Chains A and B, each alone.
Chain A
Amino acid sequence: MSFALATTAAFVIMVACSFACLWRVAVGPSPADRAGALAFMGILAVGLAAVVAAQHASGVYVHAALAWSLASFVATLAIAKHIEGKALDE
C-alpha cells in the first residue's frame, strides 16, 4: 500500500463524513442540530485540507486550514448566540 493510496483513502472517508454531516444539516430537526453539524463540517474541512497538504507535500494548504478553522469557530459562536436569543455582545 503506497502513501498516495493511504492518503486518498483518508480523503474519501472524510468526504463521506462531510456528506453525513450535510445530511444532518438538511434533516435537522432543531436549529441547534443544523448549527452543530455545520460547525463539525468546518472541522472536517480542516482535516481534508491537512490530507491534501500531505498529498502534495506543500505547506500552503495548511495555512488555508488554519484560516478556515479560525473563521468557522467565530462563525459558530455567533450562530450559537443567535440561537440563544441574545445579541452578539451580551
Chain B
Amino acid sequence: MSRLELTAAALMLAGAALDAVGCIGMMRMPDVYNRLQIAAKCIGSGTCLVLIGAAVYLLGRGQWAGGLGSLLCSAFVMIAAPTVAHAIARAARVSGHDLCVGSVVDAYAEDAAADEELL
C-alpha cells in the first residue's frame, strides 16, 4: 500500500468509525433532541472525513474534477448537517414535543416566557 493509499484509507476508516458512533447514539439516546445533536456532530464530521479521504485519493491520482468536487461536497455537508438538525429540532419544539426526563435547561421555553412578560 503506497503512502497515498494509506492516508486515504486511514481518513475513510476514521470517518466510518465516527459515523458508527453517531448511529449508536441515534439508537440509544433518550429523546429526539439528544438524538439530533449526536447525529449532527458525529455523522456530519464523520462523513466530512470520508469525503476528505476520497478527495485526497482522487487528487493524488490526478483526478482534479472528482477531487475538487469531493472537497466541495465536504464543505457543503459541514454546513448542511447542523442546519438540518437545527431546523428539525426547532420544528419538534414548536410542534410541542416535550424534553426527556432529566433535561436541565429549556432555553426555548424561557424565551417564550420572557416574551410573554414583555407583552
Mark A residues whose CB is within 8 Å of B. Answer: 1-3, 6-7, 9-10, 13-14, 16-17, 20-21, 23-24, 30, 32-33, 35-37, 39-40, 43-44, 46-47, 50-51, 53-54, 57-63, 65-66, 69-70, 73, 76-77, 79-81, 83-85
Contact in complex: A40, B54 (CB < 8 Å): no
User: How many angstroms from the CA of A6 to the CA of B32 in the assembled complex?
Assistant: 33
Among A57, A60, A85, which residue has its beta carbon within 8 angstroms of that of B94? A85
Selected from A20, A63, A77, the residue in CB contact (under 8 A) with B26 is: A20
Question: In the complex, are the beta carbons of A17 and B19 less than 8 A apart?
Answer: yes
Query: Which of B9, B85, B97 is close to A7, meaning CB atoms less than 8 Å apart?
Result: B9
Whether A46 and B15, one on each chain, are in contact in the complex, defined by CB atoms closer than 8 angstroms, is no
Interface residues of B (CB under 8 A from A): 1, 5, 8-9, 12-13, 15-17, 19-20, 22-24, 26-27, 32, 35-36, 39, 43-44, 46-47, 50-51, 53-54, 57-58, 61, 63, 65-67, 69-70, 72-73, 76-77, 80-81, 83-85, 87-92, 94-95, 97
Partner of B23 from the list A21, A77, A79 (CB cut-off 8 Å) is A21
- In the bound complex, residues from chain B placing their C-beta under 8 Å from that of A53 are 54, 58, 66, 70
Contact, CB under 8 Å: B53 / A84: no
A60 to B53 alpha-carbon distance, docked (Å) = 16
CA distance A24 to B70 in the complex (A): 28
Name the contact of A32 in the complex, choosing from B47, B66, B92 (C-beta under 8 A). Answer: B92
Tell me the complex Cα distance, A6–B10, Å. Answer: 8
Q: Which residue of B lies closest to A66 (CB)?
A: B73
Pair A36/B20 contact, Cβ less than 8 Å:
no
- B12–A7 touching, CB < 8 Å: yes
A-chain residues with CB within 8 Å of residue B90 when the two chains form the complex: 80, 84
Give the complex CA separation of A89 and B60 in angstroms: 44
Contacts of A37 in B (CB 8 A): 26, 35, 39
